[in-house]
Amino acid sequence: MSTPVTTVMPDRDPLWSRLRAQLRNLAPFATLIALVALFSSLSPSFATWGNLANILQQVSITAIIAVGLTFVILCAEIDLSVASVANATGILLAFLTVQDASVNIANLPLPGGLSIPLALAGCLMLGAVTAFGVTRIGIPSFIMTLAMLQIGNGIGALLVRGQIAYTVPDLVTTLGSGSIGPVPWIVVVASTVLLTGHLVLTYTRFGRYVYMVGGNREAAEHSGVGVRAIIGAAMLISAACSGLAGMLGVAYFGSAQQNQFDNYLLDAISAVVVGGTSLFGGQGGIGNTIIGLLVLGVLNNGLDHVRMDSFLKILIRGLVLLLALVINVYAQRLRSHARAAG
């Protein structure tokens, strides 16, 4: 073989080039800062500690769902069933818990906390069906999860039969609606899930495979990565996260009913992509998702603090979302220019 004529060189200007490489991540961050500044100037009640706690609490459920969705989207797949699985799991949990006499559901109460593992098993089963459909049968995830969305809704409807159930096991009630000191438990749980997701994606072999599968599926396959196993695992993780969010959500809202989680689908997808994770896979991560969550959380919360025509709010939310996306795209373009020039 040829003699080594070249030596390995370090980066020329590490700080500046690192910054530029982070542009994709910086753009949503800038959006976040801008929104915070805007709402702080518009309303004195916005920039308070109490409201910060509010925001964190409000994004917690979305956050848990978004972690699973981040795995799926990094694999260049999509999961449209997250909200529906969350709903079905929450309802299943309540269905398996003793309800107040006033609640009129033919449910199957189980002793103790047994309903928790069973509900989790339920959502994992839904995830397994999705994984099977996508990886084995080969149905594109977009339509497979579209069908699962309806199946999840169907299961929820069948169990709760238009009624509302209120009681879930104590453990879940505590985690969903209790606090330790000033910090709501649900924020703690969401942070833990986010952190775990980040660690898995960044520091484990599985996490690397997720990025590689999303980056170039064929190349991953040719490198001996079990692509179908990775995608299946991402689908299962997504179902598990949704299930957890559904259980805590029932405790948080204090009730389990049909269609309760519907808008978490768009919220979670928006959070992931506004944060800058690419829908084409392979780029982004939990850090991005956190920024995306905060952008949307601040936007939703901030608009409530500003006196404004209620009917205008919906439009403004849409416009800000669009603006965030445009900024993202331009930032990404700048970044790839920077990289090509570097």
> Which residues lie near a second copy (CB under 8 A)?
78, 133, 137-140, 142-144, 146-155, 157-158, 161-162, 266, 269-270, 273, 279-280, 309, 311-319, 321-322, 325-326, 329-330, 333
**CB nearer other proteins, residue 192 or residue 336:** 336
**CB nearer a second copy, residue 23 or residue 172:** 23
CB of 315 to a second copy, least distance (A): 3
Please give the Cα distance from 268 to 317 (Å, whole number). Answer: 15
Determine how many CB atoms are found less than 10 A away from the CB of residue 317.
15
Please give the Cα distance from 243 to 237 (Å, whole number). Answer: 10
Please give the Cα distance from 79 to 283 (Å, whole number). Answer: 17
Q: Binding partner of residue 216 among other proteins, a second copy, none, CB under 5 to 8 Å per kind?
A: other proteins
Among 60, 84, 145, 177, which residue sits at the site for other proteins (rule: CB under 8 A)? 177
67 contacts 195 by C-beta, under 8 angstroms:
no
The DSSP 8-state label assigned to residue 20 in this structure reads H
Residue 305: which residues within 8 A CB-CB, separation 6 or more?
39, 42, 43, 45, 46, 51
Counting Cβ atoms within 10 Å, is residue 299 exposed (0-12), middle (13-18) or buried (19+)? buried
Q: Which stretch binds other proteins (CB under 8 A): 3-11, 31-39, 107-115, 141-149?
A: 3-11
Among 29, 39, 95, 252, which residue sits at the site for other proteins (rule: CB under 8 A)? 252
CB of 81 to a second copy, least distance (A): 10
Q: Within its chain, how far is the Cα of 22 from the centroid? A: 22
CB of 309 to a second copy, least distance (A): 8
Q: Binding partner of residue 148 among a second copy, other proteins, none, CB under 5 to 8 Å per kind?
A: a second copy
Among 109, 140, 254, 318, which residue sits at the site for other proteins (rule: CB under 8 A)? 254
Please give the Cα distance from 78 to 208 (Å, whole number). Answer: 19
The torsion angles phi and psi of 265, rounded to 5 degrees, stand at -65, -60
> How do beta strands 179-180 and 183-184 pair?
antiparallel
**CB nearer other proteins, residue 15 or residue 218:** 218
Q: Binding partner of residue 71 among a second copy, other proteins, none, CB under 5 to 8 Å per kind?
A: none
Q: Binding partner of residue 209 among other proteins, a second copy, none, CB under 5 to 8 Å per kind?
A: other proteins
Residue 87: which residues within 8 A CB-CB, separation 6 or more?
152, 153, 156, 246, 258, 259, 260, 261, 262
Query: How much is the CA Rg of the chain, to the nearest whole Å?
Result: 22
Q: What are 35's two structure tokens?
A: 């929104």
Determine how many CB atoms are found less than 10 A away from the CB of residue 323.
12
Q: Within its chain, how far is the Cα of 290 from the centroid? A: 9
Per CB under 8 A, 277 contacts other proteins:
no
Q: Find the binding residues for other proteins in span 11-50 (CB under 8 A).
A: 11, 43, 45, 48, 50
Q: Find the binding residues for other proteins in span 179-238 (CB under 8 A).
A: 179, 184, 199, 202-209, 211-212, 215-216, 218-229
Q: Find the binding residues for other proteins in span 133-172 (CB under 8 A).
A: 157, 160-164, 166
CB of 313 to other proteins, least distance (A): 7
CB of 263 to a second copy, least distance (A): 11
66 vs 4, 43, 82, 200, CA distance in Å?
47, 29, 9, 15
Among 305, 320, 324, 328, which residue sits at the site for other proteins (rule: CB under 8 A)? 305
**CB nearer other proteins, residue 3 or residue 111:** 3
CB of 53 to a second copy, least distance (A): 27
